[in-house]
Every structure is written in C-alpha cells, then in structure tokens.
Amino acid sequence: MTKYRIERAPAPGWMRILIPLLAIPVTFLLTSVIILLDGANPFTTYYHFLVSPLAGRVSAIEVFVKSTPLLLTGAAVAFAFKGGYWNIGAEGQLYAGAIAATFVGTVLLDVPPIIGIPAMVIGGFAGGLLWALPSAILKVKLGVDEVVTTLLMNSIVLNVTSFLLNGPWRNPVSMWPQSPEISAGTVFPQLIPRSRLHFGIIIAVIVILIIWFVISRTSFGLKMRAIGLSKEGARFAGIKVNKTMLIVALVSGGIAGLAGAGEVAGIHFHLIDAISDGLGYSGITIATLGGLHPLGVGISALFIGLIDTGAQTVSRVLGVPVYLGDVVQSTLLLVTLSLFVLQNFRIRRVN
C-alpha cells in the first residue's frame, strides 16, 4: 500500500529568495476566481493591474508617488521585525508623524526651506518615535506583548487625529475637518514638474540604504539580527537584549513617522483623517514579501505601489470595485506566508 507522509525538510537557501516570485502566479490563480465572479477577464484585469500603469508617463510617476510612504513603512516594519520586535503599529506611528509634521508646518511660519524641510523630517521622525515609545517600554520593562500594544496604539492615534481635526485644528474657513495648510517653507519640493512626486522618495531611498548598512555592516546590526533570530542565544553572548530592542523599536517608529511627514509635506499640505488608509499595515505585507531585507523591501514596496495604482486603472476601465487591489495585496501576503511555512516540509511517498 502506498501512503504519503508529510515530513520536516527545510528547502535550500535559494528557495527563500524564489518564494516571493512564486507567490505572484499563485496569487493570480486564486484571485482569478474573484475576478471571474465579478464578470471580468482575469488576463485583461491583470494586464491593467501590472502593465497599464507603467505604460503611460503620468501613471508611471504615480506608481512612485504611491510607493513613497510604502517604502518607509515597509522599511520601518522590516527593521523592527529583523530585530525581533513585532511592531504592528506602523500605521499609528505614521499618523503620529503626520500630526507632528503638521504641527511643525503650521507653527514655523516664514522659514526658508533649508530650515523648514529638515524641521519637518525631524518632526515626523520624533512623532513616530514618541508614539512607539509606550509599547517599547512596556515590552522591555514588563514583557507586555508588543503585537497587542502597538496595534492598540493605532486606534488611539486615529481618535487623537479626529479630535484635533474636529477641535483645535478644524479649518476656520471651510469648517471641514482638516487642519490649516502648512507654511510654504515646510513643503517638500516637487521632483518632476506638474507631478505629485516629491522629496519624500529621496528620504525613503536614503532610509533604506541606511538600514541596509546598519543591519548588514555594523555591530548594532549584528546584535539586532542575533536577537531577532534567538533572544536566548544573543543574551548568552552578553548582548544587552532589552536596550537593543528598545532602540530598534523607537527607530522603527521614527521611520514610520517619516512616511506621515512625507504625506503631509509632499502630497496634502494639511492633515486629514484619511492621510494613511492602511499604509502602515501594507508595510507589514511589504516587509514580509521583501523577506525583511531592505533591498527586498524596496522592490516589494514598488510592486505594491504598482498594484495600488493598477487597482484604480482596473476599476476605471473594467468597472470592478477598487477594493480588488486590497484583495490582491492580502492574498499575496497570505500566499507568501504560507509558502514560507510550507518550504519547511516535503511530501514523501512511503510503502
């Protein structure tokens, strides 16, 4: 009698790099079912998802615009995860960064950009860092699970934002729940005329290069990697686990805060309730798809930016809901995570 048995057998190293690429066709197959139910042709749909946005100059630039905050939230999450700190709060830290940047931008009137722009960057970083601080302290002092606390901090900051926009910051002219405009000297410069592509993407690329350098080349990076892989092993080797993890958590929050500052200073020029709409959560998808490697994060942020842009094209051209983009993104994450687990097993035939 022939039977099949599932046994543990980790796949070789090159497989790990291949997984995100393998996940794409699988995701395509799975989401095709939903696309078909919606009465659309999966191939046409995916053409508009993945190819159309890159075909035109305007929409191609828009892919990079959409990717700007994603590069930063992806980097924030990957940095934290790499150091064994499960920061689910990039969304909230982004909002905190946006609030802080709005504050800086509305307080600093009549400053030249040479002062205004660095002030926005520092403000955004500080805002995200401060919002990450309570969870990080609870984690290292009392061992409170950071997955729960960082997640809960997200809902708090949403309400803080609503309070500000309906209270002290309500636009005095329009009475809309949006903050006053930031001053001209604090606006991020446009990189390409008549587009929304702004200075934020340069910050994002620099941040990704820095965290890549820190993780792979510095002693701090080795410490945080060791902690991420085995807290016990790291502690045994005399690494100060709590101190390192605290720094990782705060830097991660700061990076997510930069994403918020970029959205305020480069896109909206004021604070609104819907400044993020899940950019922080997408950061988790991006960090995972990128295998927590900074350069992988860069590629997957651009890919998710492409899907986000494509979702709008698809909905315009084919009349399917724009939420299809979210479905594709989520499916891609689930498929990737499943593949990361499944690669540890093989099926063998036994007699």
Site residues (CB under 8 A) for another protein?
217-223, 225-226, 229-230, 232-240
**DSSP letters for 89-151:** -HHHHHHHHHHHHHHHHHH--S--HHHHHHHHHHHHHHHHHHHHHHHHHIIIII---HHHHHH
Please give the Cα distance from 234 to 212 (Å, whole number): 21
* Residue 239 C-beta: closest distance to another protein, Å: 7
Query: Between residues 166 and 230, which has the closer beta carbon with respect to another protein?
Result: 230
Question: Would you state the structure tokens that stand for residue 147, as one six-digit string?
Answer: 């997955």
* Residue 67 C-beta: closest distance to another protein, Å: 30
* Residue 339 C-beta: closest distance to another protein, Å: 18
* Residue 43 C-beta: closest distance to another protein, Å: 40
Query: Between residues 226 and 324, which has the closer beta carbon with respect to another protein?
Result: 226
Please give the Cα distance from 327 to 166 (Å, whole number): 32
Query: Between residues 213 and 323, which has the closer beta carbon with respect to another protein?
Result: 213
Query: Between residues 33 and 237, which has the closer beta carbon with respect to another protein?
Result: 237
Please give the Cα distance from 87 to 76 (Å, whole number): 9
Please give the Cα distance from 286 to 43 (Å, whole number): 24
Strands 345-350 and 3-8: antiparallel
Beta bridge partners of 347: 6
Query: Between residues 39 and 143, which has the closer beta carbon with respect to another protein?
Result: 143
CB 349 within 8 A of CB 3: yes
